Structure 1
Amino acid sequence: MRSSPLFIALVCAAYPTAADDSLSLFDLDLEQLMLIEVTVQRRVENILDVPIATTVLRGNSLSALNTAGEDMRSLTSRLPSLQVESSFGRTFPRFYLRGIGNTSFDIYASQPVSLLYDEVLLESPILKGFPMFDLAQLEVARGPQGTLFGRNTPAGVVKFTSVQPTEAFEGFARLGVGSYQTRNLEAAVGGALGRGWSARLSVLSQQRDDWVENEFAGPETGFDGYRDSAMRLQLRYQGKDGFESLFKLHGRKLDGSAHLFRANIIEPGSNRFVAGFRADRASQDGQNVQELEHSGASLRLVWPLAHFDLHAITAFETADVFSRGDIDGGFGASYAQPMGPGFIPFDSETAAGLPRHGQFSQELRLASNAAGQFDWQAGLFWFDEGQKAENFNYSTTAGGVQNGYAVIRQDNQALAAFASVGYAVNERWQLRAGLRETRDRKQFSAERPQSPGGGAPLLPVRATSDASHLSWDLSALWRVNEQHNAFLRLAEGFRAPSFQGRVMFTDSISQATSETVRSVEAGLKAESADRRLRYALTVFSFRLDAPQLTAVGGSGNVARLLNAQRAEGQGVEVDFAARLGSNWSLAGGLSYNHTAIRDSSLLVRVCGAPCTVVDPVVMVDGVRLAWIDGNPLPYAPRWIGQLNLRYETDFGSGKAYMQNDWAWRSGMNFFLYQSLEYRTSSLLEGSLRLGYSWQNDRYDLALFARNLTDQTALIGGIDFNNLTGMINEPRVLGIELRTRF
């Protein structure tokens, strides 16, 4: 890897050449930007002092994401280098950072972006869909985080922190209603219980009626409605000796729709919608349902001792999900007329369930607590997850009767030991280094008691893996002056071997060996204009060795794991926040990511649907395969940008305000191979909020719009049957009332 010379030019452009506190753009009588503290190094630190590319969402920008009943996918393109997508719906978000992610739709698929909720790892992609509500902060740390977090973090970490109980009695309630009978209720209340105890109860209820009408007289009259609710109860104890405990219970229940697949909505030879396409219409003869129950509990303990603090985090999570959808996206088939929309070669209706799941994790960590030049952390982490997944196949043209059934089981145990040390060489230089040794074991089995078409059952096939790896990171922070910090970071991350068992339509398990990533990044973080301007710039380059890739679809409804020789990426990330003028504030970011798969011998199946493949294609044993050497990683747009503008002014006895935010990304591919049809063009989505608050923000009334310009865009596809596509969320207009107490 080579550090980009672009870094030098950008640092020179950003470095102040004069006393920047005198810039006329900033009114120095304005309120300063809030101090941003982060915990991506497992300590509370000023974001400027952390040698990691980190972006934070909090306050109005974070709470606005839930306004129209949104789920985790609303984060896509809202932060530099971040994409979130799902072919499963509200329950299975797939995260991508700097282009690194996993397109697999299997319930037990591992992902290279780790998600933590209140310091607890949520490993299964089903758990990662837990709603965002009553949050204090969202932190996204980009690049390998394999030392202090460790489990499946070669791309980075997404970290949520809930509002915690306090001694003061406080709470809020917000109710929003909007288009398509969208309703969003979020509330919390908490305060002291006495004798050092405090509590907080938070609840969320989101719902929307079906907004897509089924024009075919099938079992469903409409699609894409949901009823989604969640709760969180926290009990906190703070002892006089500094001992602290936090006990949390949380749960979620969803009754909704699987992601809606739409047959033949892509114009052949392009990625445009066919003539006459309407987002609020579909024609399907299959069932569409999604049900989820998720619950968990955690206990965090902190004992302050003479020279260090002892931290213990114990957590358990469990989930039960069932999702059934019409995969061919239409009605009928070539052998069961009538059919449509367009040509449907064969019917495809499948379901996936997770009737058994349990995740237990335990972390013990020692952290130095004495001020000085030297600080350290060390600990042990244990992870144990067991799950049983079920896949079903149905004959839609025979009335939806089940004609296929497969069972997949996976048990995963991992043990890690880690340590991190920091040393302040002097007032201007700080160094940090970390190591983590991980051992990961998996036992996997798959069987098919019932084969589609009446074929022979498949007896259990099994696979195991046992892998160890030493991850590390090295970083240096240079205090250029009181306002500017520069950093350099080298890191290596690791993801353990993975299995796929799509044995409904194949007789074998696919396996990918361990992947490792090495990354170098350099950056500048600064506050200027007397803390009325904050910005960060990072230049990075990474190399993925043996990247785990998923060949989704092709000529069958199969997801196959494989390892490429390597993948590479490099780019630039910028984010900023500023107070402008007397009433304006501005925040945003921009990222550029260039990724490429490097493997001159790697071939993958191409579409079974009539798509136009632009990669070189060869025939091997009658199967069309594409060379993918040099292709970008899937769901890896080169450009991602965000802009959030807020204006507020005194009006009457309160304040009137306007908040306008935009998220933009350039085009990207859906699959490992490239075709004209299965890619998306650039997308710009905006949101607007016009409101009035009074009595010192105790009350707030606002009109809102999500997807302000009513953009309809292709965001995913299914390539084995016909030109099936998936689209983004519709525009939602509404009103919201909030009160604090």
Structure 2
Amino acid sequence: MTRSSFAPVLLVGFASLALFPAAARAADAPADESASNTIVVTAQRRSEDAMKVPVAVSVLTTQALHDYQSAGADTLLSLSGKVPSLYVESTTGRIFPRFYIRGLGNIDFYLGASQPVSVIQDDVVEEHVVLKSNPAFDIAQVEVLKGPQGSLFGRNTTAGIVKFDSVQPSTDWNGQGSVSYSRYNSINADAGVGGPLSSDGSLSFRLSGLYQHRDNWISNTYAGPSDDGTVPGKNVMGGFNERDVRLQFLAKPTDALSLRLSGHYRDYDGSASIFYRGSIIKGTHTVPDNFDRTVVAYDEAQNNPQAYKTHGISLKADYDMGFATLTSITAWEHASGFSRGDTDGGAAANFGGVAPNICAVGCGESQGRLRSLNQWSQEVRIASPDTGRFKWQLGGIYFDSRDMTEFDQRAFFLTSNVLGTTPNPNNWVLLRNVNTSWAVFGQASYQLTDQLTATGGVRVTRDEKDTTLLKTANSIANVSTFGGATHVNLADTKPSWDASLLYSASRDLSFYARVARGFRGPTIQGRSAVFNSPFTTATSETNTSYEAGLKSAWLDGAVHFNLTGFYYVVKNIQLNGNDSNGNGVLFNANKAKGYGMEAELAIKPVTNFSMNVGLSLLHTEIQDPNVFAQTGAAGGVLSQTVLNPVVRVGNNYFAQINGNTLPNAPTFNLNISGRYDLPLGEGQGRLFVGGDFNMQGKVNYVLYKSVEYISNGNFELGLKAGYAFGRYEVAGFARNLTNKTNLVGVIDTSNYRAGIYNEPRVFGVMLSGSFR
């Protein structure tokens, strides 16, 4: 058996071990034995009933995650739309998910891009975009915290937090797993198992793993000349291999001290995002009836390779001093890898190009390569006990991220010039990026009366960015023509804060109001140097957010209903557009406003039926009459039907974006999921059927308004049906059951009009379960 074939067998076998060690005991256990009608969250760094937390927070469970990812879907991108106000997308494959909460995110595909949504995995902030792509597996719970959360968590954030908590080591043997097989030879195995390592329970462990595989399923039909030696063929792209493992140890040498040591490793390879050139027809945003996701015509980019490796280690120490608990979290993360893409999404010869000047019409390929990244973070905090009328927390964090990032442009890869561009091995740049940050923070809450609690927090953050151009994109003669500054340093220090009131009308009904200020530090965009253009920068932005809502539970927790209304103003908002080279350009607009509502309903009227419904409504608006964004154009002709006023400068066009919505901010999001179990009799198990549905309103993918670069009414339906016995299930499933083709991203450059689309319909079978 080869090494490559041994890895999936080993991981699938590991999943089986997690599923079956205690089958005899689990056969008689009810499926919901561990279910509780109380929803516990850690939105304030304490384990609390969600009813008592004055923060809008949505929760995703392990079972839901297994269903969404059953066909091998990306564990992060598959979360998009699954709770109100959460949107996730990528134009750079699985190594670069971009998160948006309440419309706030960043469309920048630069490897050093700053994001207003923070990702926390097991108490460790993942700041770099590649670290944010670390898959979520063997997860106990996902919490989506909405609005600025800067006073307690990790780094400062203006939009919110997506917080992943994996299953922790325990003194009892337990495990869970899910294994599925589906179309395109797709395999998804997610499992974890753990228990005590000592007889007195002072040492325990948890071993977790994820394996995902899909065969290539997209064919390259291009038969013309290629300047970089790309060879077409049947089923040459679209596949991937995802291999992840995590090992945790929990030691409790004394009753007061606990130590959790965690290490993880990721090895991923797969296709970069697939762009389909010309799939967006000018004058319409509907997907063509003859569109086929299984076929492209790429003349370059070696069929889109992509690969990354990450690993890290963290140590969390808790010491109970009686009057307070001292917590330290020390973490190190490392990443390296490369991406590549045919960014024009097709062969220029098929779109009017004639050799030898064919690439005047548009050829494009590029690669962002993270040579190395090292991220260190140290957090220390001290917190009062969870009891009593007065609770408090104080702490500080230091963050240090350093990377070497290379950008390679088209001429770097070429071996001939049949298509009109001479190979240039010097057409690449090397950047060194350093980001350091420190913060001190504190929060206190006081129960003013038996029903009214006031909470306030404050944080002061220093954020510094430093980018140095170590190697310029030189001419064929290796002569530099770069005229900009080769070193840029930006820094800022600002406070963040929040204040809230929570009124508990009863044990099952509470009202809250919250105002919060978030801060995102200055940002540098260095990728532009690969086109010999100067760096672009954006200064700090702040978000002041207001929200109020109610949280309720009825019928002894059988019904939960939450409702939130919000309004925010982001001053000096950081935005990102593209220039004529497809180059990311950073700039600030005066402000952006947003308002809307979120509603969540969870019902379990009887033991065998449950349903969850979520709805968010959103309006966003950029407010700055003096800000313009470049639009796609070629040869002095607009490539889209632009609905904003435009100004022409040479062969380029710039659209006024005042009044436009923010990109990737759906006007509404509806998610519905449910499940019904039919008992077959005492000791005979049960049949079940379940499903999930997501629909999104109008989404604009770029800063300017156009007929083409929007979608409206995207939806997907998933179904699952099978047989359950105790804690174990075997089921058939379908993802994207109707085979709906949804536009989910665009490349806004030249005349490409290239779109990115969702995955096609997939059928499969799944085996899942748990023991304890």
The TM-score range, normalised by the shorter chain, is: over 0.9
TM superposition shift of 1:681: 2.3
Paired residue for 1:656, among 677, 687, 704? 687
Tell me the equivalent position of 1:347: 363
- Contact 2:175 2:193 survives alignment (8 Å): yes
- Contact 1:168 1:191 survives alignment (8 Å): yes
Distance 1:366 1:397, change over 3 A: closer
Query: Any unmatched runs of 5+ in structure 1?
Result: 1-29
C-alpha separation in 2, matches of 1:58 and 1:568 = 32
3-state SS of the aligned residue for 1:458? coil
Tell me which amino acid in the other structure corresponds to 1:362: Q
Tell me the equivalent position of 2:10: none
Paired residue for 2:529, among 476, 485, 503? 503
3-state SS of the aligned residue for 2:93? coil
Tell me the equivalent position of 1:8: none
Tell me which amino acid in the other structure corresponds to 1:536: N
Tell me the equivalent position of 2:488: 463
- Contact 2:472 2:530 survives alignment (8 Å): no
TM superposition shift of 1:718: 1.1
- Contact 1:233 1:249 survives alignment (8 Å): yes
Tell me which amino acid in the other structure corresponds to 2:383: A
Percent identical residues:
37
Tell me the equivalent position of 1:209: 215
Higher strand share: 1
Tell me the equivalent position of 2:673: 644
Tell me the equivalent position of 2:507: 482
Distance 1:666 1:344, change over 3 A: farther
CA shift digits 1:458-482 (9 cap, x unpaired): 3761111121001010000001223
Mapped pair 1:112 → 2:143:
no
C-alpha separation in 1, matches of 2:346 and 2:622 = 34
Paired residue for 1:319, among 335, 338, 342? 335
- Contact 1:330 1:339 survives alignment (8 Å): no
C-alpha separation in 2, matches of 1:31 and 1:532 = 15
Paired residue for 1:687, among 718, 724, 739? 718
3-state SS of the aligned residue for 2:372? strand
Paired residue for 2:204, among 191, 198, 201? 198
Tell me the equivalent position of 2:643: 614
Tell me the equivalent position of 2:560: 534
Tell me the equivalent position of 2:657: 628
C-alpha separation in 2, matches of 1:251 and 1:148 = 27
CA shift digits 1:149-206 (9 cap, x unpaired): 1524110000000001111122234321100110112222211000400001011110
Tell me the equivalent position of 1:129: 133
- Contact 1:235 1:247 survives alignment (8 Å): yes
Tell me the equivalent position of 1:229: 243
Paired residue for 2:429, among 406, 418, 426? 406
TM superposition shift of 1:487: 0.2
C-alpha separation in 2, matches of 1:344 and 1:73 = 35
CA shift digits 1:240-280 (9 cap, x unpaired): 42311110000100111100111111111111234532111
- Contact 1:113 1:152 survives alignment (8 Å): no
Tell me which amino acid in the other structure corresponds to 2:222: F
3-state SS of the aligned residue for 2:290? coil
TM superposition shift of 1:62: 2.5
3-state SS of the aligned residue for 2:298? coil
Paired residue for 1:251, among 255, 258, 265? 265
TM superposition shift of 1:238: 2.2
- Contact 1:225 1:257 survives alignment (8 Å): yes
Distance 1:276 1:63, change over 3 A: closer
Mapped pair 1:719 → 2:748:
yes
Mapped pair 1:736 → 2:744:
no
Tell me which amino acid in the other structure corresponds to 1:63: H
3-state SS of the aligned residue for 1:325? coil
CA shift digits 1:362-397 (9 cap, x unpaired): 000000016321110000100000011110012477
Tell me the equivalent position of 1:266: 280
Tell me the equivalent position of 2:23: none
C-alpha separation in 1, matches of 2:289 and 2:611 = 40
Tell me which amino acid in the other structure corresponds to 2:46: R
Paired residue for 1:678, among 696, 703, 709? 709
- Contact 1:490 1:520 survives alignment (8 Å): yes
Of 456-465 and 227-236, more deviation after overlay is shown by 456-465
Tell me the equivalent position of 1:9: none
- Contact 2:633 2:651 survives alignment (8 Å): no
Tell me the equivalent position of 2:569: 543
Tell me the equivalent position of 1:23: none
TM superposition shift of 1:141: 0.5
TM superposition shift of 1:284: 0.6
Paired residue for 2:551, among 525, 544, 554? 525
Paired residue for 1:164, among 157, 168, 172? 168
3-state SS of the aligned residue for 2:68? helix
CA shift digits 1:436-469 (9 cap, x unpaired): 0111112112355334777744376111112100
TM superposition shift of 1:624: 1.5
- Contact 1:48 1:485 survives alignment (8 Å): yes
Of 457-466 and 638-647, more deviation after overlay is shown by 457-466
C-alpha separation in 2, matches of 1:632 and 1:394 = 33
Tell me which amino acid in the other structure corresponds to 2:218: V
Mapped pair 1:583 → 2:608:
yes
- Contact 2:343 2:366 survives alignment (8 Å): yes
Tell me which amino acid in the other structure corresponds to 1:61: A
TM superposition shift of 1:486: 0.1
Of 329-338 and 224-233, more deviation after overlay is shown by 329-338
Tell me the equivalent position of 1:666: 697
Tell me the equivalent position of 1:514: 540
Tell me the equivalent position of 1:219: 231
Tell me the equivalent position of 2:180: 176
- Contact 2:472 2:529 survives alignment (8 Å): no
Tell me the equivalent position of 2:81: 77
CA shift digits 1:610-644 (9 cap, x unpaired): 11110011224553211100000000011011101
Of 291-300 and 645-654, more deviation after overlay is shown by 645-654
- Contact 1:572 1:591 survives alignment (8 Å): yes
C-alpha separation in 1, matches of 2:153 and 2:232 = 44
C-alpha separation in 1, matches of 2:490 and 2:280 = 41
C-alpha separation in 2, matches of 1:618 and 1:189 = 61
Distance 1:397 1:315, change over 3 A: closer
TM superposition shift of 1:132: 1.6
C-alpha separation in 2, matches of 1:448 and 1:617 = 36
C-alpha separation in 1, matches of 2:106 and 2:574 = 8
- Contact 2:473 2:529 survives alignment (8 Å): no
Mapped pair 1:594 → 2:623:
no
Distance 1:190 1:402, change over 3 A: farther
- Contact 2:125 2:154 survives alignment (8 Å): no
C-alpha separation in 2, matches of 1:281 and 1:718 = 18
CA shift digits 1:263-318 (9 cap, x unpaired): 11111111123453211111111221001000000000000003100000000001
3-state SS of the aligned residue for 1:145? coil
Tell me the equivalent position of 1:301: 317
C-alpha separation in 1, matches of 2:268 and 2:553 = 43
- Contact 1:315 1:360 survives alignment (8 Å): yes
Tell me the equivalent position of 1:435: 458
Query: 1:355-374 maps to which residues of 2 (within 5 A)?
Result: 355-369=371-385, 371-374=387-390
3-state SS of the aligned residue for 2:377? strand
3-state SS of the aligned residue for 1:90? helix
The alignment yields a C-alpha RMSD, in angstroms, of 2.1
Paired residue for 1:60, among 58, 63, 74? 63
C-alpha separation in 1, matches of 2:154 and 2:626 = 31
Distance 1:443 1:325, change over 3 A: same
TM superposition shift of 1:517: 0.4
Distance 1:150 1:248, change over 3 A: closer
How many residues are aligned here?
708
- Contact 2:217 2:294 survives alignment (8 Å): yes
